[in-house]
Structure 1
Amino acid sequence: MNNFTFYSPTEFVFGRETESRTAELVKKYGGSKVLIVYGGGSVIRSGLLARVESVLSDAGIVYVKLGGIQPNPTDPKVYEGIELGRRERIDFILPVGGGSVIDTAKAIAVGIPYEGDFWDFFIGKAVPEKAVRIGVVLTIPAAGSEGSGNSVITKLDGLKKLSLRTPEVLRPAFAVMNPELTYTLPAWQTACGITDMMAHIMERYFTNTEDTEVTDRICEGTLKAIIYEAMRVTIEPCNYGARANLMWAGMIAHNGTCGVGCEEDWSSHFLEHEVSAVYNVSHGAGLAVIFPAWLTYMAEHHAGKVAQYAARVWDVPKSTDCKAMALEGIRRFKSFLHSIGMPVTFRELGIEHPDIDLLVKKFHENKGERVGNYFPLDSKASREIYEIANR
């Protein structure tokens, strides 16, 4: 196990009707003038946005709003939010929604006090030292952004989808998590979220770091819990227990718990970022295509941990043939993804003729000549993974 610093100061307020405590929490963490950030019509149709506005008003908290955040969030809304936040002199940001809304809010939060272009942080030109404080009202369990210091934004100029990781600056002060708010999620969105949280765990699980038994078991147990609850929620969308466990699993998957002491990988996420940047597909659905392809490549080139994953998560019988074990685990993983309505090939994702040359080019332009840690990918390897996804 490697040396590590684990920093996770977010206060999680979990359960039924917890959104009623939003104003109390904003005040607790110093907010007096709030920028509410939200997406499309669901938070309006459900009445959630109105309830949040009501509790803020009743508490005497002034707020302004920025709506219209789309999936795969892009930089124009970030610039709009930075300008609005500065003009209104806001001191707290409250995203009400899922990962795209929260990621946009985080980018706004680092952009407001910064004299340069917020994109400097995403390209590594500058490191965030301060940000406007954030609290979250979560509606979609998937990205885990409610418990992480990460943000992913696409810059429309060049379609560059990049991530920012600053746990010391951007972890939310609080996260309100009411599983009942997820009852009305479409089955597709639920399945995309399930895939995303599983991928967050696996990016940390596939490591060459030795003596990580506790972290491995946390990853494996959480994956098995997600698989179990995914099948329950598919049959009973309004099952509170299933929704509650999935909501908590999404947070655990990405707040750092599953990667303690490990060198993480993340090449599958970066491979997918190019797909969703170019083709604007759902991130979770893109991961459902890319991760099995990455695993298939690893079964041939670095099968050991994939065989362990197959045995411990998918109950594949142990044998001396690690490659065969790995491939059977991948087959079971893909079968599970199909069972919850996810695609596992580019064609099933709706991309009949992916421009693999372009994807490979952008992947290495954005991430370097060799990407990832479990088995670093050069352009030949990344091409082969995209080609596997295209079979």
Structure 2
Amino acid sequence: MNDFNFYSPTEFVFGRGRECETGRYVKKYGGSRVLIHFGGGSAVKSGLLDKVKKSLEEEGVAYFELGGVKPNPRDTLVYEGIELCRREGIDFILAVGGGSVIDSAKGIAAGVVYEGDFWDFYCGKKVVKALPVGVVVTISAAGSEGSGDSVITKEEGMLKRATGSDALRPRFSVLDPELTMTLPAYQTACGATDIMAHVFERYFTNTKEVEITDRLCEAVLMTMLRETPRVIADPKNYDARANIMWAGMVAHNNIVGVGREQDWNSHGLEHELSGLYDCAHGAGLAVIMPAWMEFVCKHDVMRFCQMATRVFGVDMDFTDPEKTAREGIRRFRTFLHSIGMPINFAELGAKEEDIPVLVEKLGVDDGRTGGFVHLSSEDAAEIYRIAVKAEL
């Protein structure tokens, strides 16, 4: 295990109806003039936004609103939010929504206190300080409610880039599993796929002797295998929703990734798909991650065997370990298909002829690649080609 520091200061407020306490937590963490940041009409139609605003009013907290966050959140709305916050003297950002809303809120929080262009942070400059952020979560997926990460798409060129800093970790996050019950099955499945991908990006590592985090990763993955079909079959299953919601946070606040080298190639490859085609992030990961696994499997066959046997229940074939490893990958792809996820370019709506564009935007030869296996541009192109022809 490698040396590490782990800092995770977020207060999690979990359970039924806890969104009605939002104002109290905003006030607790110093908010007096708040920007409520949200997405489309669902937060309004469901009555959630009214509950949040009422809780702020009860605490005497002034608030301003900025909606319109899209999936794969855009830099243009972040710029608008920064301008609004500066004009109104905002001192706290409250995200009401899923990962896209939270990521956009973090971009605003960093940009308000920065004299330059907030996009600098998504080009490699570290976020040193930001306005405090609070969160009311409406979808279990990105884990941004517990992490210091944020992903934004620049509309010019549709470049999707990430940044990360402890300065962006939310002060508090409200997690009410009931708020996720109205999600369509497809969105639920996309979220589940994203959660599993966050774990796999940490699970596939070159670091030795990481049994504790291996087992934590495997526990989250096995939870998702059990609970995802349950909520798709019964969207109002509170206990399954609760397990998934907490799994989403655990998967990405990095407690399962400390002390080990991580990869993140699959996310990089997928970001170009959702940047170009504006597809759901989880759906893109469903296509890319098994393809990436097939490509890198031989790098450490026994780690893939460990995944196959411990997570997917494959019997170990000691005479042909690679057969065991590839059966684990096959079962992962089959699971994704069973919950309604695409498994190849055609099902996602991507085009094979766009692979050169995807690779060029990815820019792996400029150092934008992962840790488990270092990819060249040709490697990236081959993974996309595997994803083109993938089948069960």
Q: TM tier, shorter chain?
A: over 0.9
Please say if residues 38 and 101 of structure 1, whose CA atoms lie closer than 8 Å, have aligned partners that are also in contact: yes
1:234 to 220, 232, 235: 232
Please say if residues 34 and 93 of structure 1, whose CA atoms lie closer than 8 Å, have aligned partners that are also in contact: yes
Match of 1:248 in 2: 246
Match of 2:154 in 1: 155
Q: Secondary structure at the match of 1:137?
A: strand
Q: Secondary structure at the match of 2:337?
A: helix
The one-letter amino acid paired with 2:58 is D
TM-score by length of 2: 0.97
Q: What is the correspondence of 1:1-391 to structure 2 with a 5 Å cutoff?
A: 1-124=1-124, 126-167=125-166, 169-320=167-318, 321-364=320-363, 368-369=366-367, 371-391=369-389
> 2: CA distance between counterparts of 1:4 and 1:178?
31
TM-score by length of 1: 0.97
> 2: CA distance between counterparts of 1:331 and 1:227?
14
With 320-329 and 100-109 compared, the bigger mean Cα shift is at 320-329
- Relative to structure 1, the CA distance from residue 121 to residue 32 in structure 2 (aligned partners, 3 Å threshold; closer, same or farther) is same
> 2: CA distance between counterparts of 1:86 and 1:188?
38
Cα displacement (A) at 1:303: 2.3
Cα displacement (A) at 1:302: 3.5
Please say if residues 369 and 378 of structure 1, whose CA atoms lie closer than 8 Å, have aligned partners that are also in contact: no
> 1: CA distance between counterparts of 2:46 and 2:357?
40
Please say if residues 206 and 264 of structure 1, whose CA atoms lie closer than 8 Å, have aligned partners that are also in contact: yes
The one-letter amino acid paired with 1:61 is V
Gaps of 5+ in 1: none
Q: Secondary structure at the match of 2:140?
A: coil
The one-letter amino acid paired with 1:291 is M
With 92-101 and 153-162 compared, the bigger mean Cα shift is at 153-162
The one-letter amino acid paired with 2:328 is G
Cα displacement (A) at 1:363: 1.0
Q: Secondary structure at the match of 1:63?
A: strand
Please say if residues 362 and 368 of structure 2, whose CA atoms lie closer than 8 Å, have aligned partners that are also in contact: no
- Relative to structure 1, the CA distance from residue 307 to residue 370 in structure 2 (aligned partners, 3 Å threshold; closer, same or farther) is farther
- Relative to structure 1, the CA distance from residue 211 to residue 44 in structure 2 (aligned partners, 3 Å threshold; closer, same or farther) is same
> 1: CA distance between counterparts of 2:4 and 2:126?
20
The one-letter amino acid paired with 1:327 is R
Please say if residues 136 and 172 of structure 1, whose CA atoms lie closer than 8 Å, have aligned partners that are also in contact: yes
Cα displacement (A) at 1:318: 1.1
With 251-260 and 316-325 compared, the bigger mean Cα shift is at 316-325
Q: Secondary structure at the match of 2:93?
A: strand
> 1: CA distance between counterparts of 2:237 and 2:351?
36
Please say if residues 298 and 322 of structure 2, whose CA atoms lie closer than 8 Å, have aligned partners that are also in contact: yes
The one-letter amino acid paired with 1:380 is E
> 2: CA distance between counterparts of 1:344 and 1:356?
17
The one-letter amino acid paired with 2:210 is T
Residue by residue over 1:299-345, the C-alpha shift from the partner in whole angstroms, topping out at 9 and shown as x without a partner, is: 24442311211111101111222211111011111111111000110
> 1: CA distance between counterparts of 2:47 and 2:65?
15
Please say if residues 273 and 350 of structure 2, whose CA atoms lie closer than 8 Å, have aligned partners that are also in contact: no
> 2: CA distance between counterparts of 1:26 and 1:12?
13
Cα displacement (A) at 1:219: 0.1
Residue by residue over 1:3-55, the C-alpha shift from the partner in whole angstroms, topping out at 9 and shown as x without a partner, is: 00011000000000000110110010000010000000111110000111111
The one-letter amino acid paired with 1:63 is Y
The one-letter amino acid paired with 1:107 is G
The one-letter amino acid paired with 2:25 is L
> 2: CA distance between counterparts of 1:216 and 1:163?
25
Residue by residue over 1:240-278, the C-alpha shift from the partner in whole angstroms, topping out at 9 and shown as x without a partner, is: 000000000000000011101111100000000011001
Residue by residue over 1:40-86, the C-alpha shift from the partner in whole angstroms, topping out at 9 and shown as x without a partner, is: 01111100001111111122110000000000001000000000000
With 349-358 and 4-13 compared, the bigger mean Cα shift is at 349-358
Residue by residue over 1:116-140, the C-alpha shift from the partner in whole angstroms, topping out at 9 and shown as x without a partner, is: 000111112x322211001100001
Cα displacement (A) at 1:362: 1.1
Q: Secondary structure at the match of 1:390?
A: helix
Residue by residue over 1:181-209, the C-alpha shift from the partner in whole angstroms, topping out at 9 and shown as x without a partner, is: 00100000000000000000000000010
Gaps of 5+ in 2: none
Please say if residues 97 and 139 of structure 2, whose CA atoms lie closer than 8 Å, have aligned partners that are also in contact: yes
With 294-303 and 19-28 compared, the bigger mean Cα shift is at 294-303
- Relative to structure 1, the CA distance from residue 133 to residue 269 in structure 2 (aligned partners, 3 Å threshold; closer, same or farther) is same
Cα displacement (A) at 1:380: 1.7
Cα displacement (A) at 1:369: 4.7
**Runs (4+) of structure 1 moved beyond 3 Å?**
none
Q: CA RMSD in A?
A: 1.1
Please say if residues 148 and 256 of structure 1, whose CA atoms lie closer than 8 Å, have aligned partners that are also in contact: yes
Please say if residues 98 and 139 of structure 1, whose CA atoms lie closer than 8 Å, have aligned partners that are also in contact: yes
